[in-house]
Structure 1
Amino acid sequence: MRISQLFAGPYDGGPRAQLFSRVADGFSLPDELRQQLILARRPGWQALAGFGRPGLALPFRRWPAAGGAGRLDRRSRAAVAAELELFKPDVIAVWDEASMARLPAQPEAVTLGIATDPEAALALRRCRYLVALSPEIAGQAVDRGWPEERVRPLPPFADGDLVDPLPRATLATSVDATVVLLPWTLDLEALGAVLLAARRLPLPTLWMPGVDRKRLKLALGCQVPLRDLGPELDRARAFAAADLVLCTAAGDAMGLGIVEAWAQTKPVVAAGAPAASGLVRHEDSGLLARDTTPDALAAALRRPLDDPLLYDRLAANGRAAFDAGHGEARALARWLEAYLSLSALMLPGARGLRETRRKAPPPRTDIEV
Structure 2
Amino acid sequence: MKVFHFHFGKDGGAEKFFVHLARGLGRRGVEQTSVIRPDRLWRKDIEPYSKIIESNFRNLSPDRLLLPMKVRYLAEREKPDALFSWATRASRLMPNYKGCIKISRLGDYPTNLSYFKNTDVLVCNTPGIGEHVRNIGWTRGVEVISNFTTTDRVAPVDRASLDTPEGVPVVMSMGRFVPRKQFALLTAAVAKLPGVYLWLAGDGEEMENVRKVAADLGVTDRVRFLGWQKDTRPFVAASDIFVMPSSHEPLGNVILEAWAQHKPVVSSRSEGPLWFMRDGENGLLVDIGDTDGFSRAIERLINDSVLREKVAAGGNQTLMQQFSEEAVCNAYIELFKRKP
TM-score, length-scaled by structure 2: 0.89
Cα distance in 2 for residues equivalent to 1:153 and 1:48: 26
In the alignment, what sits opposite 2:198?
206
C-alpha displacement of 1:232: 4.2
Cα distance in 1 for residues equivalent to 2:225 and 2:45: 23
Would the aligned equivalents of 2:188 and 2:213 in 1 still touch at CA under 8 Å? no
In the alignment, what sits opposite 1:9?
9
Change (3 A) 1:19 1:343: closer
C-alpha displacement of 1:27: 1.4
The match for 1:326 among 305, 323, 329 is 323
Cα distance in 2 for residues equivalent to 1:91 and 1:120: 25
Matched letter for residue 217 of structure 2: C
The match for 2:148 among 153, 157, 170 is 157
Q: Aligned with 1:28: secondary structure?
A: helix
For structure 2, list consecutive stretches of 5 or more residues without a partner in the other structure. Answer: none
In the alignment, what sits opposite 2:333?
340
C-alpha displacement of 1:141: 2.3
- Identity of paired residues, percent? 24
Once the two structures are superposed, the pairs formed by residues 1-369 of structure 1 within 5 Å of their partners are: 1-10=1-10, 12=11, 14-31=12-29, 33-44=30-41, 46-48=43-45, 50-63=47-60, 73-119=64-110, 122=113, 125-126=116-117, 127-147=119-139, 150-187=141-178, 190-211=182-203, 212-224=207-219, 225-232=222-229, 234-249=231-246, 252-328=249-325, 330-331=326-327, 334-335=328-329, 337-347=330-340
Q: Aligned with 1:310: secondary structure?
A: helix
Matched letter for residue 4 of structure 2: S
Higher helix proportion, which one?
2
Cα distance in 1 for residues equivalent to 2:333 and 2:308: 41
C-alpha displacement of 1:37: 1.0
Cα distance in 2 for residues equivalent to 1:167 and 1:134: 36
In the alignment, what sits opposite 1:365?
none
CA RMSD of aligned residues (A): 2.5
Change (3 A) 1:71 1:208: farther
Matched letter for residue 242 of structure 2: V
For structure 1, list consecutive stretches of 5 or more residues without a partner in the other structure. Answer: 64-69, 348-369
- The runs of at least 4 consecutive aligned structure 1 residues that moved more than 4 Å come to none
Q: Aligned with 2:243: secondary structure?
A: strand
Matched letter for residue 44 of structure 2: A
Change (3 A) 1:260 1:45: closer
Q: Aligned with 1:283: secondary structure?
A: coil
Change (3 A) 1:273 1:73: same
Which stretch shifts more, 131-140 or 277-286? 131-140
Deviations 1:157-180 (A, max 9, x none): 111112111111232222233221
User: How many aligned positions are there?
Assistant: 333
C-alpha displacement of 1:142: 2.4
Q: Aligned with 2:227: secondary structure?
A: coil
